[in-house]
Amino acid sequence: MTLRLRHLRLRASTSAGPYGADIPFCPGLTVIWADNTKGKSTCMQGMLYALGLERMLSPRREIPLPHAMTSYLETDTKERHHILESRVSLEIGNAAGQIVTVHRTVKSLVDNRLISVDFGPTLTDANATAKHRNFFAVDPGAAQREDGFHHFLEEFLGWKLPQVRRYDSADAKLYLETIFPLFWVEQKAGWSAIPAAIPTYLRIREVHKRAIEFIMDLDVHKLELRRLQLDDLIAANVREWRTQWDEADKLARRSGCRIEALPPKPTSISSELDAVHLSIAENKDWIPLRTQLSRLRSQVAAALATPVPSVGASSAELERQLQEIGGQIEAVNTERLKVHNAKRLKSTDIESLKRRIKSLAEDLQKNQDVQKLQRYSGAVADLTPDRCPTCEQSLIDTLLSQEALAAVMPIEDNIEYLRSQLKMFEDILAREEHDIRSIEQAVSRMDRELAEYYSRVRTLRADLVSAGSSPSATVIEERIRTESRIRELEGVQTSFEEFIQGLKLLATTYSGLLKDRAELPSDKMTADDRAKFRELTRLLREQAREYGFSTFDPAELTISEDTYRPEKEGFEIGFETSASDAIRLKWAYQLALLELDSEISTNHPGVLLFDEPRQQSSAKVSFESLLQRAALAKQRNQQVIFSTSEELSNLQRITSELDCSELIFPGYVIQPL
């Protein structure tokens, strides 16, 4: 992954003619010098603007360039000229050797959200012919859609930005604006945080961590995402299993059946589902549905083999059946009344249990709050029943016998007691709810039986008043009813088997998800991640020492595995350092990220830009050490660009001994053309 800045061009059409600047960049270290307010930051921010990265500085869609490119510019002779039109062009290259030139207007009739790209070095080669294409920036979709410039820039850099979690919406891409601050430090806000002033307005969760994980190409975020993904998939599997279970249960209940041996939660052993079957009530017993179907089919076969008798020939039998069914109806109604009473009592018990559980939960919460207050205040109440807790006065004169007084249970024991009571009543409630479901199923079965009995009674009575030579409607209806029941139960059995096949697929998926989760490393970091952290820590300590970090021994510096920020003895380094030491630490961290890429494969683009790196009056010796270290970038085929207003004589003394490129502007950077 490589980004090489090759050439910057600033152009402005003014009331006094054309003005501009051309700034070439070389491999290794390039130092841009100009006095304060002469245009150094215009160059640095102009490159950011050309790449559509102004929202790295602010969520507002404002042009980050100063008045010299937006309204008026001043000359070395203190004249002012109004800006009529202006634009920025930047030539960049990547690891594949591809060179493109990016153009963006600053002040123009053309909308500045348009970025034009020449696919060739049109700034450094006046004779270059290149294809041209327009992209859009800043607007939503610029990072996702094919015509978005940041989508193009991501592909140009050879990056594949990860999906990250957000606070206010679904997962989204890690935007370029959150990554560039790790190697592009602008003057105003860039020096305010270690390792970088990464914008948070994009609502990305733990955006600092996500950016560093990407730039270092750590596996930790990939593992975390995979864990979360697997947890989500497992939770979805559990929900789908429960939905299928409920549907199967409803299907069984509608036909007077119940499910046997089906676990309410997913199982990774699909063979357990082979024992699952439906049972159906037969009198007061439950028999397998398949057994009942066999019985009914036998009854139909026997009935088909026997001719339908006439009413006259079977009148005595019809009378007997009518009397028998009447007795069965009476018995079912008696049983139904008992079950209904049992259901009412069970419902009352359940409501009482729920109230008890609610009361216990409230008592537990109150006791936990008291325990918390005692722990926070450092005081433990010594309560005894024979002494006032406020005035310590003895309570001898009471209505209770003194022998009945006992020690008050300590708050910790009381909490444990309440927890055990709560658990016990919750278990009882679960059993009671299971029992009431069984009672409801029994009521449903009896209602079905009564409906069948009353239907048969009507048919029998109709037979008894029919002509004696008529065929018995009772026998015919019984045969039809049995065949209809067979078709109904066969449909239930078929649908249930389809449910079981679906659950077997869920069980197979569940088993695979558990296996995938078990194969993830127990440690949040892989061996490669730890190797990168060790090397980054070594580079950080080494450079902090070189730059004169003195708040404490640089050997005590570490990098947190939780925040990825520098720390000492587990505490983040904050106000205990001086302002100049904080700047030195930022130099060390961001240059260490650059150097790490030359030793271990990361996603760092191999470029580092510092706008005014000598902040907070950092010592000259520190700045000299920084330049010396940065100049080594050329040996690693990397690029470092510094803009500074350091005392020119001191700067030239340092750079004269370094392999670097100097760009000295004695006046304003933007000059008449």
What CATH number did the domain enclosing 450 receive? Answer: 1.10.287
Per-residue pLDDT for 603 more than 90? yes
For range 622-646, the mean pLDDT? 92
Distance from the Cα of residue 636 to its chain's centroid: 38
- Spatial separation of the C-alpha atoms in residues 671 and 673, rounded to whole Å: 6
319/433 same-domain check: yes
pLDDT in tens, 231-249: 999 999 999 999 998 888 8
191/242 same-domain check: no
- Provide the β-strand partners of residue 30: 641, 661
351/444 same-domain check: yes
- Provide the β-strand partners of residue 640: 29, 608
Asked if 205 and 169 count as a contact pair (C-beta separation under 8 A), the reply is no
pTM comes to: 0.67
Q: Which residue in 239, 339, 313 sits closest to 475, CA to CA?
A: 313
Structure confidence at residue 628 (pLDDT): 94
Per-residue pLDDT for 213 more than 60? yes
Structure confidence at residue 468 (pLDDT): 61
302/256 same-domain check: yes
Per-residue pLDDT for 381 more than 70? no
445/496 same-domain check: no
- Spatial separation of the C-alpha atoms in residues 537 and 62, rounded to whole Å: 38
Q: Residue-wise over 221-238: b if at least 16 C-beta within 10 A, else e?
A: bebbeeeeebeebbeebe
Per-residue pLDDT for 538 more than 80? yes
Per-residue pLDDT for 342 more than 80? yes
Between 214 and 477, the more confident residue is 214
331/341 same-domain check: yes
For range 532-547, the mean pLDDT? 93
Name the helix (H) or strand (E) containing 207: helix 207-215
Q: What are residue 34's phi and psi, to 5 degrees?
A: -160, 160
Q: Which tokens belong to 289?
A: 């549905």
Q: Residue-wise over 139-150: b if at least 16 C-beta within 10 A, else e?
A: eeebbeeeebbb
514/617 same-domain check: no
Find the length of the chain.
Answer: 673
233/215 same-domain check: no
Distance from the Cα of residue 341 to its chain's centroid: 50
- Spatial separation of the C-alpha atoms in residues 538 and 542, rounded to whole Å: 6
428/544 same-domain check: no
The label of the residue with tokens 């409630």 reads 429
pLDDT in tens, 118-146: 999 999 998 888 899 999 999 989 999 99
Start-to-end C-alpha separation, the chain: 36
- Spatial separation of the C-alpha atoms in residues 105 and 137, rounded to whole Å: 12
CA dihedral 244, 245, 251, 252 (to 10 degrees): 160
Between 630 and 387, the more confident residue is 630
pLDDT in tens, 469-524: 666 666 677 777 878 888 888 888 999 888 888 898 999 999 999 999 888 887 77
315/343 same-domain check: yes
Q: Which tokens belong to 471?
A: 């065929």
Q: Which domain covers residue 85, as residue numbers?
A: 3-219+525-672
DSSP code, position 137: -
Structure confidence at residue 96 (pLDDT): 92
Percent of the chain scoring above 70 in pLDDT: 90
592/628 same-domain check: yes
For 307, 461, 604, the CA distances from 468, given in Å and listed in that order, are: 16, 13, 101
For range 298-304, the mean pLDDT? 79
For 39, 69, 148, 198, the CA distances from 58, given in Å and listed in that order, are: 20, 19, 20, 10
Q: Which residue in 383, 387, 390 sits closest to 407, CA to CA?
A: 383
- Spatial separation of the C-alpha atoms in residues 517 and 511, rounded to whole Å: 10
Residue 186 pLDDT class (50, 70, 90 cuts) = confident
181/61 same-domain check: yes
DSSP code, position 204: B
- DSSP string covering 55-110: GGT-SS----S-HHHHTEEE-TTS-EEEEEEEEEEEEEEETTS-EEEEEEEEESSS
Q: Which residue in 618, 642, 601 sits closest to 546, CA to CA?
A: 618
Q: Which tokens belong to 490?
A: 């066969």
pLDDT in tens, 21-79: 999 999 999 999 999 889 888 999 999 999 999 998 888 778 889 899 999 998 888 88
Between 4 and 440, the more confident residue is 4
Report the CATH number at residue 175: 3.40.50.300
Asked if 220 and 183 count as a contact pair (C-beta separation under 8 A), the reply is no
Structure confidence at residue 575 (pLDDT): 55
Structure confidence at residue 315 (pLDDT): 72
Q: What are residue 235's phi and psi, to 5 degrees?
A: -65, -40
Domain count, the chain: 3
Structure confidence at residue 386 (pLDDT): 58
